[in-house]
Amino acid sequence: MYPSLKHTFDKILKISDEDWQTFESIIETKNLKKKDYLLRQGQICRAVYFLSSGIIRTFHLNDDGKEINTAFYFQNDFLREIESMTNHTPSKKNLQAIEDSTVLFFDKAKLTALYEKSDFYQKLGRMILEKLTIIEQRYSSFLTAYSPKERYLYILENRPELIEQIPLQYLASYLGISRESLSRIRKRI
């Protein structure tokens, strides 16, 4: 069961059949319809998630109540709201399905029990966290290092799935520009 998750683990750190069976016992599944929330701003995140199918976005509301999109997740991506989960504090972010999605989740308490049981799970967890941290740092650098046009060209070349599958208003917010500015950039290219 869960072959895509096992394959993803194997790409990060080869998992034995015994360790996989142990991990498989803590997996839970949640099905989301388009626009359903996996996590709402103000809730406490109590799990790490793996997107089995669909697309999920991360966004927060600025002081004016405007949505600011900060990440998009596709099949076989890990998701989490680390500050909320680690500090047991209300999330400052929302995780919402852009299309019908299936999410596997691993409860923090159950993960912690696995970490205490085996060095393997600690190492796997650390490697996944490192991977997610690198992705977030790239996005932060991406916003500050490039002009809006360069950002669009970068995702056009390196993340075409964003252009193909993300609604324009979400994509514009992710790029840090208005929808109108994004339309102008797209017309010039």
| Residue 177 token pair | 């520009």
State which residues form the domain around 40. 3-145
Q: What angle do CA 134, 140, 141 make, to 5 degrees?
A: 90
Pairing of strands 37-39, 47-53: unpaired
Tell whether 35 and 111 lie within a shared domain.
Answer: yes
C-alpha to C-alpha distances, 174 to 1, 81, 156, nearest whole angstrom: 34, 17, 13
Q: How far is residue 146's CA from residue 189's CA, in Å, rounded to a whole number?
A: 16
pLDDT in tens, 115-146: 998 899 999 889 888 888 888 888 878 778 88
pLDDT over 90 percentage in the chain: 75
Tell whether 163 and 117 lie within a shared domain.
Answer: no
Edge-to-edge, what's the strand order for the sheet holding 47-53? 27-32, 101-107, 47-53, 78-79
SS3 category, 94: strand
C-alpha to C-alpha distances, 35 to 31, 43, 57, 95, nearest whole angstrom: 12, 17, 10, 10
Tell whether 127 and 156 lie within a shared domain.
Answer: no
Q: How far is residue 174's CA from residue 151's CA, in Å, rounded to a whole number?
A: 10
| Residues 6+ positions from 36 with CB-CB distance below 8 Å | 96, 97
- Residue that finishes a domain, picked among 110, 126, 145: 145
In the chain, how many domains are there?
Answer: 2
Tell whether 112 and 168 lie within a shared domain.
Answer: no
Instruction: Check which CATH number belongs to the domain holding 76 and give it.
Output: 2.60.120.10
Tell whether 32 and 65 lie within a shared domain.
Answer: yes
CB atoms within 10 A of CB 102: 15
Tell whether 48 and 114 lie within a shared domain.
Answer: yes
What is residue 129's predicted lDDT score, i.e. its pLDDT?
86
Please give the DSSP secondary-structure letter assigned to residue 75. T
Tell whether 23 and 109 lie within a shared domain.
Answer: yes
Per-residue model confidence as pLDDT tens for the chain (189 residues)? 799 999 999 999 899 999 999 999 999 999 999 999 999 999 999 999 999 999 999 999 998 989 999 999 999 999 989 899 999 999 999 999 999 999 999 999 999 999 998 899 999 889 888 888 888 888 878 778 889 899 999 999 989 999 999 999 999 999 999 999 999 999 988
Q: What angle do CA 136, 141, 143 make, to 5 degrees?
A: 100
Tell whether 115 and 158 lie within a shared domain.
Answer: no
Tell whether 159 and 106 lie within a shared domain.
Answer: no
Crossing angle between the packed helical segments 108-117 and 17-24, to the nearest 10 degrees? 150
Tell whether 120 and 171 lie within a shared domain.
Answer: no
| Residue 170 token pair | 């979400």
Tell whether 140 and 186 lie within a shared domain.
Answer: no
Rounded (to 5) percent helix, strand, coil in the chain:
50, 25, 25
Tell whether 61 and 123 lie within a shared domain.
Answer: yes
